Structure 1
Amino acid sequence: MQQDLQPLIEHLIELRNRLVRAALAILVVFLILFNWRGELYHLLASPLLAALPAGSHMIATDVTSSFFVPLKVTGMVAFLIALPYCLYQGWAFVAPGLYQHEKRLVMPLLISSVLLFVVGMIFAYFLVFPVVFGFMAKATPEGVAMMTDIDKYLSFVLGMFLAFGVTFETPVVVMVLVRMGLVSVEKLREIRSYVIVGAFVIAAIVTPPDVLSQVMLAVPLWLLYEVGVVLAAWLMVPKPADTERA
């Protein structure tokens, strides 16, 4: 019985060590960035600050917001910077148990998923935020001062980052579904019209109520779906399984 438990215990110890390494990497980056927490938040808030009317500014309605909100932003940036190392630790833990053909599939999907998520965040920051905040500033009724709470702004930005990051994962999701045999490329092409409608419905739910920002989410979602279908037809053709271990 003890011999049966030994491999499990060794795997758990290895998992703990790799989780600790990943956490330490995030902590080290966080400590390095700590002195620039104010600048990092200002960088995150720049799209809104640029759209605010002259004389307007952001506010902190909670006593601790002015300290903890920049701290949260710094933690988020530290996580993004340390993410490649964290993913490496996860890959080093699971890779020995994968077949060679699984490694050839998982690694490109993992790298592309991270890159596409980051591209989605960049798209939201540089293209969507200026449009959304500009619309909100112009829609503010006369006599009303637009002064957003920094904590609520952070929650809004993180939600938008998540929405656009997940949206840009569409090609990966499509290829995985085809590779697993859950859906065929022909079926994906048949339901194209439903996907377009669904894209606009999703955009209407997760974005502010201006048409332009909804279009800026729905159109990329649809185009990325088309990219996923093309890539699935080209790259993800089922092949005989390579059962040879690395």
Structure 2
Amino acid sequence: STGQPKGVMNEHGALMNRLHWMQDAFPIGPNDRVLQKTPYSFDVSVWEFFWPLITGATLVVARPDGHRDPAYLSQLIQQERVTTLHFVPSMLRAFVEEPSLVDCHSLRQVFASGEALPVDLVRRFMGQHPAALVNLYGPTEAAIDVSVWRCSADDVIVPIGKPIANLRLYILDEAMQPLPIGSIGELYIGGVGVARGYLKRPDLTEERFLASPFVAGDRLYRTGDRCRFLADGNIEYLGRLDHQVKLR
């Protein structure tokens, strides 16, 4: 986290919505094996734990710090016949450089989130492995993920896609007015995924969680992300509005 670490008060209903959407969109079952390798302090670990447990799939738990070792992960995928797993793009790049990636024959779907997914990495992965690659976007303040894009080797850019079930995405100007296709503004999130706010931080909650002018009773989370709508309705992520940076 940049600045002071903060607690986010997500709701069970928001997490259930996220899990049920994922099962509808990318169904798994008793023949699937999901690799749990994300540290549990990171929100992605929530779906890694609970998605297989509510669908009858097998949960394969990596050793502590195993997520940092591409060779170990490749060996574990082969040994445990893992079908589904998640990478942050920087770790996916390290995994793609692992020679034994081509031997991970059981792998059928890979999810990427947590950072912008570069188009060159998409092409490189798809040139080496037939598994589906899916780009997910979302802040912890909206129950992990709010949008999805199914990657293709033909992608010229990698959008963050369209909203998942029961979520609403808006690109607004400084007066909170909707912007036309192609215009750059700030991304706001509405719908069931939006958290109650920050734990014991009423000032920050008031700044970031706003009453929606579009849907009565709805609340919007102000992401601080610069985005624009593409002509096909997908959203392109263009970076931060503030000076937040990621190191390594």
TM-score by length of 2: 0.24
Greater share of helix? 1
Greater share of strand? 2
TM-score by length of 1: 0.25
